[in-house]
Structure 1
Amino acid sequence: MEKKEFIEKLRESLDDGKKRYYRNLVYIEKEDYMQDLLDVLWLYKEVNQSPKVAYAFNPWAFRSKERLETVKGVFPDLEDVDYSSSEKYLGKTYDVVILDLVDNFQPNYVGRLVDLVRGGGLAVLYTNNLERDKFFKNSIIREGKVEDYYEERFKRKLMEHKGTFIANETGYFANPFYGKLGEKPHGVVPKKIVMPVELHNMALSEDQNRVLEGFQYLLRGGKRVLAITASRGRGKSAVTGLGLAGVIYVNMKEGFKTYVAVTAPSISSSSQIMEFLKLGLDALKIEHKVKKSDIGAIRSIEGDGFKVYYEPPDATLNDEGHILVVDEAASLGINYIDVATKVWKKVVLVTTVHGYEGSGRSFLKYLRNLLEKRKQNVKWLTMEKPLRYAEGDPIESWLYDALMLNAEPKKPTEDLTKMYYETLSKEALISSDDVLSQVYGILVSAHYRNNPDDLMIMLDGVHHHVKAIYSDSYLAVAQVSEEGNLPDPMIELALKGGTFDGDLIPDRMLKHLRVREFGKLKGWRIVRIAVIPELQNKGIGSKLLEMVVKEAEDKGVDWVGSAFMGDPYVLNFWTRNGFVPVHVSPKRNEKFGDYPVAVIKPISEMAKKITAIAQEVLKERLLNTVFDVYYDMSPTLARILLDSIRAHRDIELNKIYLAKLTAFLQGTSPYESSADAIHMLTLKYFWDAKRDWRLDEEEEIVLIGKVLQGKPWRYLSSTLGINRTRITELIYSSVSTLSKRYYNLDVESHVGVSINEM
């Protein structure tokens, strides 16, 4: 196609998109990209004379600002967006979003930013080439090698979908969209309402009206959870802000105060909620004061009898109020939600079903299981129709396909008598959408922290391999990364605190264990392992793990390991399969709030020797610093870690400690007076790897939480769901058992100690 025809077809599609409220996309990949880019942008300006424009780029990259200034010649008032801070733009809307891919092509950014374009708008992606000299791609290179499978599929999807216009070295290609669309969204005020009509009139869709009215669920009753789920662009954060304004209004009328904490991965992530809360209060003519953060995001809104404020996730677990609102709940993880819904009386969970920070679908599965198990009162609200563009928008369809946001595993057949283990080739994965959707869908369905970048790493990394168990369809998948076998300079770099891409477990072991030889060992890190939902907890994941370890052993690999966020359920899976913890990060992951954990199953003799040392070092670090460095670790996770490390050390209590234990058992010395003796007894128990008996799980958790970590009684009571009396009883029963087992002490034992016994 000639350029003139290309421009004319694009003009027709832009006009049609404006009329029917759908989006178009232009992709330019050629060395001489600038003239085509400018022609496209000037064309859009003819269709829309005053568009709102965002331009995303890496501002510190060579000549990137020159390109920005050139584009400003068309749109002087554009908003420039640094890719690294693009998360704070979620919730905003633009007519044109331009992505400079000259220096970097990263799927997360593509998904996040293309979705900001409104109906009638245009997304523009331009680059000299998609595969070479890109920051993110360079991080995947291993020994000078990297594949291009992801980019190959990405460009193929651009060609396959409608609403896309492509200019490359071979010519111009137009794929206009002529399909059917849903009507433009509009609000519909319900006949019977509790929330103020002024707020209902601000809703842009019937979904928003319905969810707004759903906030009345929080007005009365005991512990309740309101869960709001939607794909991006449905207006869930906006209606949450309006809903809070409604709750404040109703409570004020009835003489109740309202205190709300809003949390999210960052203060910018919560900005939409706070902005629409302010708009709602303005519409209701409720006086309020606004305080902003250094970056201009609203930190708090306060008025007579109410306060709504942003608080980091960790801080909310030690706070008190009426309502906790969690935006992007899937990003914070199920462990955080577990504690938050215990501590807070009313909780609003807002999460994305098809997001770019993780799979909301799998998160919802875990969330439903959690709340059902606890018999929690919960109201589920789902928002279906998009607000930014018409239902059936072609660019949403392309985005979901290109980034595999809608990947789904197949349901298994009933006949599973024959199952096979295989390593899938990358060619097989990208040549069949069905196979890729099954394989990646299994990973996404089980891991809510997947994101589009992960697929690119899996396909393009020469050191990444996909192992699977299949029958008539794929049942279980493991993504494996080759690690270790490091040259001396890289080992030195790690020991001196330097960082490098990949080789996650060797890097952590070198930095924290300091044993040089580990860097020379060859390992396989299991990045992810998952089983289709219908067959989970049936041993198939363990069987796949067994096959991977056997293959590694046959190929002379020294160790197989994994690294993950410290989740008790996940850690239990690994320890049940013979893997042992060798490292726990001394810092919590800021985004997810968990402590990263590394586990290993050693194969070679050298790996076994180093692993034994690593276990003892880790156990000592945990027991010595769990009250400080690991204070925020859940006692449940700490219990699994300590129980699975079989390093042994003899700990003896002196006579004074034994006398204190006796006094505690007899009730003449309170816990606080005997705490030092109980602490030493607890250390003796957890260092004892030779015993063939154990305390009850609940007793171990209380000993860790209170005796070793020193957590407040109130915190333990709320997180464990038991009262202080029960906690005291568990400590007493534990001390009684341990005192009898180790020293034959009980309530009848002699009180006090003679100087001659010292």
Structure 2
Amino acid sequence: MPAEPAATPVKARWRLLQERLQQRGERRLVLVEGERSQTVAWVRQVLAALPEPAGLWTGPSGECPAAHLVTVPPRRADQWLGQELSVVVWDGWQGNPPDGIAALSGTLRTGGLFFWLMPPLEHWPHFDDPDYARTGLDGRQAHPFAARLARILAADASVLRINPEHGDQVPFQDLPEPESPFTVQTTREQQVLVDRLVQCGLGRRRRPLVLTADRGRGKSAALGMAAAELLRQGRTRIVISAPLVDNVSTLFRHAREALGSELLHESDHELTTRSGGRMCFLPVRELLAQQPEAGVVMVDEAAAIAAPLLRQVLLGWPRVIFASTVHGYEGSGRGFAIRFRQVLDRETPHWQPVSLTAPVRWSDQDPLEPLISDLFLLAADSEPADVQASGKPSILVESWSPGTADESELAEAFGLLVNAHYRTTPSDLRQWMDAPGVVCWRARRGGHTVGVLWAAVEGGLDAGLAEQVTLGTRRPRGHMLPQSLASHSGFPEAASQCCLRVVRVAVSEGVRRLGVGQRLVEVAAEYAGNAQLDSLGTSFGGSPDLLAFWQSCGLDVVRVGLGREATSGEYPLQMLRGVSPAGQALQQRLKQRLTEHWQTLVPLAWVDMDARLLAALTCSLPAEVRLSGDDRRDLVSFAHGHRGFLLTLPVLGKLNQVPGVMDWLREQPDLPLWVAAVLRQQPWAHMQADRLCTGQRDGEDRLRALVRCLLEHPPEM
């Protein structure tokens, strides 16, 4: 600030500071340290001197320090993605979920102030954060994640640290007035993007565009301007989708501004032009359920949407545009791009990648964005240049702790998780560093981390509590896999035994398929045995590739979830490898129980599971059925057209559990038809709609051909 305001009353100086930040295109974190009631009172006084545009308060509604602030629980902060605020007052005494802090910082416009109310920094490593209990982090004496945040904040000169106990000594920075005030305006890069979006929306079918950009780069504004131009150029129906309608408020605002007098009707989620064009919002699940006609579908905040849903959107409309934040707190856009690229390459190989790099909503000198990125490792990367070096790699696997790692090692390892799991968020970083019972290993090559395995010791509950878990009357935190197996299988010993659960495993792309992941898992299994644990296990959103990897590591499927995961959009698979005699016995009992229930559950629970995965799971179960002479006679009769499909269906179902048959079927082109007709027992009309057959006669003829071929060249039946 200039020298003359030094004697100005404190409240007026805060107003001048905000004005100067706005002129410079910058924002600031204001750390208000001290006893809670004093920090709330201090913020109340300062806010009274500031303008009253949009702002949030995350504390109790009855203690809101300004009437114009909207009260929002910390865990609901992600609902404000895509909106713009001038002030955020974060009451850290109510809990500090990292995703919420990162999300709300991204909503601040130029001149924005993020007030963070907390104890003094030196108390952070031992601060009993109220959010810890929700995630099983309570009970620890020290918290490495919080200690790391405190170190970074203390070292950053842009952070304004305030302690109300010290009176009016406010450490304002010297911020010279810029030669020309910062203004938010369309950049050349943004205009080029708008042109690309319009070309995509008017161009050839099945050439989707995938836009990735850091927050504040103007991607939502570009989508809105492009949507308006598409309506002008004749697209009569454009559908906008995102996790929440609030996520697209900026998009709709820019579309309204671009259309101006051409608008006939407008609301927060729908625009209609005088020429008859219409643009509306639908949440992604409603979009897929309603299947509306649309010339263009735009999906914003795509990294927050499960990949299977994105694939359905991709295949459901001729022209689709996906947009995602690169380093996002709702899920990593970089991980999204890496994982979703596989789907795009397979389904629409002519897809178009595009990105924005220059900030639009704030200056490139803004210190808040790099600070938040450092705090939560939003830009963590894992692909060092020399990892791709030729020659057989020499890889060292060693025990490692993220809580004691230096910044470069931590960023490199966390970057592996980000790239491998696109829904990785800052909360995962906290969980990794602070959760009790965590054990980790890393694989090193040439001075770089090329693989990480994060595991946690779970289970070991006493007999009484294990019985309550099995009955569903108790659910203690921090024992995800044992509790799930106990409550769904009905075996209390699944909760009383001790298990090492692999939470995440990730390997750098440059050394994949060289056995690095298997080596990490084997080291974890050895640790479980030496620690006298009963089993090694994992739980993940199912896919054929991941199932094959874990099977190669010696784990068996022991449970398949009945509903899709909210995070991955896939059915959860739980796998186990017994390392003690008791653990091995439990593994076999769980696997046998799943086998007994399989044929009944498939048509009821997994009717929309990927056919390749369903076949692989069926193949993984014990195949112990032997066909009788009567069974063989029925199969021959069906194969040659003398017996109907329904009458033969019970015998066809038995074939799935005959040794070698499912392995053989997985190699046949008509596997999806077999899965739908025999395993899932779907109606012929559904199979016809899914283009598995042209009708019942065609489907039955192809199944008969399969059975004929099987009988002529049987595996071992």
TM-score past 0.5 threshold: yes
Counterpart secondary structure, 2:102: helix
Q: How does 1:115-194 map to 2 (within 5 A)?
A: 115-128=106-119, 130=124, 131-141=126-136, 144-145=139-140, 147-167=142-162, 174=171, 176=173, 184=182, 186-187=184-185
Comparing 464-473 with 681-690, greater Cα deviation is found at 681-690
Q: Which residue of 1 aligns with 2:3?
A: none
In 1, are the aligned partners of 2:24 and 2:177 still within 8 Å (CA)?
Answer: no
Pairs within 5 Å for 1:155-304: 155-167=150-162, 174=171, 176=173, 184=182, 186-187=184-185, 204-214=186-196, 215-251=198-234, 257-258=236-237, 260-273=238-251, 276-277=254-255, 283=260, 285-288=262-265, 298=269, 304=276
Deviations 1:223-271 (A, max 9, x none): 220212111233323432343333233226xxxx53x444333444455
Gaps of 5+ in 1: 58-63, 188-203, 291-296, 746-758
Distance 1:105 1:717 in 2: 51
Match of 2:293 among 313, 321, 328: 321
Partner residue of 1:93?
84
For the residue of structure 2 that corresponds to 1:528, the secondary structure is: strand
SS in 2 for 1:694: helix
Shift, 1:334, TM fit: 3.3
Partner of 1:379: 352
Alignment partner of 1:491 is 2:466: yes
Measured in 2, the distance between the counterparts of 1:654 and 1:266 equals 57
| Aligned-partner SS, 2:670 | helix
Answer yes or no: is the 8 Å Cα contact 2:240–2:279 preserved in 1. no
- 2:32 equivalent among 28, 31, 37: 28
Is 1:445 aligned to residue 394 of structure 2? no
Partner SS state of residue 706, structure 2: helix
Q: Distance in 1 between matches of 2:257 and 2:264?
A: 12
1:478 matched to 2:450? The reply is no
Partner of 1:67: 63
Distance 1:173 1:338, change over 3 A: same
- Structure 2: distance between partners of 1:382 and 1:707: 46
Distance 1:705 1:91 in 2: 41
Check whether the contact 1:263–1:316 (CA below 8 A) recurs between aligned residues: no
Query: CA shift at 1:521, angstroms?
Result: 1.1
RMSD of the TM alignment (CA)? 3.7
The alpha-carbon deviation at position 537 of structure 1 amounts to 2.4
Decide whether aligned partners of structure 1 residues 590 and 447 sit closer, same or farther in structure 2, where only a CA change above 3 A counts. Answer: closer
Partner of 2:499: 523
1:93 Cα offset (Å): 1.0
Q: CA deviation at 1:477?
A: 0.4
Q: Aligned partners of 1:588 and 1:231: how far apart in 2?
A: 29
Letter in structure 2 aligned against 1:555: A
Looking at structure 2, the residues matched to 458 and 179 of structure 1 have their Cα atoms a distance apart, in angstroms, of 42
Distance, in Å, in 1 between the alignment partners of 2:464 and 2:273 is 56
Secondary structure at 2:519 match in 1: helix
Note the 1:540-579 alignment, pairs <5 A: 540-579=516-555
User: For 1:318 and 1:712, how far apart are their aligned partners in 2?
Assistant: 22
Going from structure 1 to structure 2, the CA distance change for 1:743 and 1:530 (only over 3 Å counts) comes to closer
CA distance in 1, matches of 2:211, 2:192: 11
Counterpart residue type for residue 599 of structure 1: M
Stretch deviating more after TM superposition (7-16 or 149-158)? 7-16
1:674 counterpart (642, 645, 653): 645
Residue identity in the other structure for 2:34:
K
* Conserved? CA contact 2:211–2:353, under 8 Å: yes
The whole-number CA distance in structure 2 between the counterparts of 1:349 and 1:343 is: 13
Equivalent residue, structure 2, for 1:751: none
Change (3 A) 1:359 1:289: closer
Counterpart CA distance in 1 for 2:442 and 2:8 is 47
SS, match of residue 371 in structure 2: helix
Q: Per the alignment, in what secondary structure is the counterpart of residue 230 of structure 2? A: helix
- Counterpart code for 2:603: F
**C-alpha displacement of 1:36:** 4.3
Q: How far does the alpha carbon of each residue in 1:333-375 deviate from its partner, in whole angstroms, 9 at most, with x for none?
A: 3333334323332221111111112111122122233323445
> Aligned to 2:315, which of 313, 323, 342?
342
Match of 1:18 in 2: 22
Deviation, 1:459, is: 0.9
Q: CA deviation at 1:185?
A: 5.5
Q: Contact between 2:659 and 2:716, CA under 8 Å: does it hold in 1?
A: no
Deviations 1:289-345 (A, max 9, x none): 76xxxxxx7389799465645144386178363433322222223333334323332
Residue 735 (structure 1) aligned with residue 707 (structure 2): yes
Quote the Cα distance in structure 1 between the aligned partners of 2:611 and 2:269.
35
Determine which of 382, 390, 414 is the counterpart of 2:363.
390
How far, CA to CA, are the matches of 2:205 and 2:407 in structure 1? 48
- Partner residue of 1:112 out of 100, 103, 109: 103
Whichever residue aligns with residue 475 of structure 1, its letter is: V
> Equivalents in 2 of 1:350, 1:595: separation in Å?
25
CA contact (8 A) 2:263 2:272 kept: no
Identity %: 21
CA distance in 2, matches of 1:5, 1:525: 59
> Are the aligned partners of 2:307 and 2:340 in contact in 1 as well (CA < 8 Å)?
yes
Q: Distance in 2 between matches of 1:416 and 1:166?
A: 52
- Return the alpha-carbon distance in structure 2 between the equivalents of residues 488 and 384 of structure 1: 57
Cα pair 2:103 2:330 within 8 Å, conserved: no
SS in 2 for 1:561: strand
- Map of 1:456 onto structure 2: 430
After alignment, is 267-276 or 102-111 more displaced? Answer: 267-276
**Contact 2:145/2:434, CA 8 A, preserved across alignment:** yes
In structure 1, C-alpha distance between the alignment counterparts of 2:331 and 2:661, rounded to whole Å: 42
Cα separation, partners in 2 of 1:126 and 1:90, compared to 1, 3 Å:
same
TM-score by length of 1: 0.82
Q: 1:552 Cα deviation (Å)?
A: 1.7
Q: Deviations over 1:169-189 (max 9, x none)?
A: 9978848486999984654xx
Q: Does 1:403 align with 2:376?
A: yes
Secondary structure in structure 2 of the residue aligned to 1:626: helix
Q: Deviations over 1:90-126 (max 9, x none)?
A: 1111111111111211101110112211111100010
Unpaired runs of 5+ residues, structure 2, are: 1-5
Equivalent position of 2:57 in the other structure:
55
**Residue 672 (structure 2) aligned to one of 701, 705, 715:** 701
**Counterpart amino acid of residue 515 in structure 1:** F
User: 1-side partners of 2:257 and 2:647: how far apart?
Assistant: 55
What is the rounded CA distance, in whole Å, between the counterparts of 2:270 and 2:615 in structure 1? 37
Post-superposition offset of 1:569: 2.3
CA contact (8 A) 2:85 2:108 kept: yes
Tell me if structure 1 keeps the 8 A contact 2:470–2:491: no
Please state how far the C-alpha of 1:436 moved relative to its aligned partner.
0.9
CA distance in 1, matches of 2:580, 2:619: 24
The Cα of 1:466 is off from its aligned counterpart by 1.9
